[in-house]
Amino acid sequence: MLKLVARRLAMLPVILLAVATLTYALTEISPFDPVSAYVGAENDVSPERRAEIAHAWGFDQPVYERFGRWLWNMAHGDLGNSVVAGGQPVSSEIASRASASIVLVGGALALVLVGGLIFGVLAAAFRGTVFDWLVRTLCYFNTAAPSFWIGLLALYVFSIELGWLPAGGTSDPRAIDAGGVDLAHLVLPMIVLALTQYAWFVLFVRNTLLEVLREDHVQFARAQGIGEVAVLLRHALPNALIPFVTLVGTNLAELIGGTILVESIFGWPGLGLLALDAARSEDIPMIVAITLAASVLVVLGNLLADVLYRVMDPRVREATA
């Protein structure tokens, strides 16, 4: 176990270097002009002023020089200054936005895990019934429907038509404690983000549980006269949860990536919306920093999933010993 953790952590700097290099290369070949994005709607900017802006931000230098300087500064704890944040340090801007994204992703992940387990187990328990058909139909519809369409539909129905939930932001700006995360503002974006991965988890739990129910040790438990509920929860479900842990780690990247879409729809001031604004302004230090932060979370999430997989399944420990 310790060797596994050590190997993954040793590979983390190599992965981050590859991610940073690829991100820099993609931003360099993108059609966006960082100077035009910086000046915005000011069309009367003189060429001399544009040259001054490009020189101030280092846009007139070769990409390899900018990348090398960024790597050197990052090694000393400096992620650079952000164009989209008006020259503020990238690290402070990310720190101010991280809590909102952590709450959103954490709440969505909890909904996916709990809801996926509950409805997946119930669909397997009532296989072939109307309930099972309804759950699978909703999952297929959720998989086929575009995520942005689901978000806009939820916004229109629950915020505009019914008025049950606020349309955007993390809290009411008129409130005395404005700036935190209000539960009423969290509900819609959290549910929409969870729906981007919810169907996969439900169907995976259902199909895996049905396969485990056909195995010999489950049939032996039934032959001993153990009730169907006990067979399902005590003998089948623990074995079905082992690959479920791996699925959580592999889908964490998609859940984090979905925050860009959800935060842009609901105006959620997190890292996803910040990444979108940085991409529009070609704010390379901000783009690379957010990408690296997401990469670290994905690597650590997959590492945690592998560790839990080996803890839950002794056969894996014996095979890798």
Residue 145 Cα distances to 18, 50, 152, 193, angstroms? 33, 44, 12, 13
Mean pLDDT of the chain: 78
DSSP assigned state of 1: -
Helix, strand, or coil here: 89? strand
pLDDT digits (tens, 9 = 90+) for 264-278: 888 888 888 888 888
What is the rounded radius of gyration, in angstroms, for the C-alpha atoms of the chain? 24
Residue 270: predicted pLDDT: 84
Contacts of 12 (CB under 8 A, 6+ apart): 296, 299
State the Cα–Cα distance between residues 199 and 120, nearest whole angstrom.
Answer: 9
By CB atoms closer than 10 A (0-12, 13-18, 19+), residue 313 is middle
Q: Average of pLDDT values for 283-296?
A: 83
Give the start-end residues of each E strand in the chain.
Answer: none
Set out the domains of the chain in order of their start, with CATH numbers: 2-61 (no CATH), 91-320 (1.10.3720.10)
Task: Please give the angle made by the CA atoms of 303, 305 and 311, to the nearest 5 degrees.
Answer: 105
Across 107-111, 175-179, 285-289, least confident range: 175-179
Contact 123, 131 (CB under 8 A): yes
pLDDT at residue 304 above 70? Answer: yes
pLDDT at residue 41 above 60? Answer: no
Residue 118: predicted pLDDT: 86
By CB atoms closer than 10 A (0-12, 13-18, 19+), residue 40 is exposed
pLDDT digits (tens, 9 = 90+) for 92-144: 888 888 888 888 888 888 888 888 888 888 888 888 899 989 999 988 888 88
* Cβ atoms within 10 Å, residue 294: 21
State the Cα–Cα distance between residues 130 and 227, nearest whole angstrom.
Answer: 23
Contact 243, 200 (CB under 8 A): no
